Amino acid sequence: MRQRRVLVAISAAQLSAGVAGQLVALRDRRAFDIALVGWRGQPDRVLRDSWLIGTGLSAPVVMLTAQAIATLRLAAGLNQCARRTLGALGTPAAVAFPLAVAMAVSGVPRSRALDEAMTGTMGATILSTCVRYPRGQ
């Protein structure tokens, strides 16, 4: 029970950061920037790209929507499917976080949104860890 509440709280906080990032990115036209492969979005296409690729400050809308649904289902009661969904959504960001830190430490030029994105990816890392290693129900 406590594990579920903690997972819901972490997911809600991370989701809030993602939604806030989405709104700021749309307002400021901050396109996605995948520096590792040199793939950058265009500021005039931020709204379109935000649905499936994401923005410079948030995950794609489809991922945020899936996270919101899973969080609400988990908040309503113990739901293994919702837990697995949150884990699946958190794992890619949990992998991306150490990569982003390594890029910053090694002197690889950082994308303009890297610092802002750290909060969301750290939340996803914690979220993924809570899902993968539960302590009781």
Q: What is the pLDDT of residues 82-123, one digit of tens each?
A: 999 998 888 877 776 666 555 555 555 555 445 555 555 555
Does 137 reside within a domain? no
Q: What pTM value is reported for the model?
A: 0.74
Does 17 reside within a domain? yes
pLDDT of residue 137: 46
Rg of the chain over Cα atoms, rounded to whole angstroms, equals 15
Q: 98 is in which domain, residue-wise?
A: 2-132
Does 26 reside within a domain? yes
Sign of the torsion formed by the C-alpha atoms of 24, 110, 115 and 89: positive
CA atoms within 13 A on the CB side of 99: 12
Total tally of structural domains belonging to the chain: 1
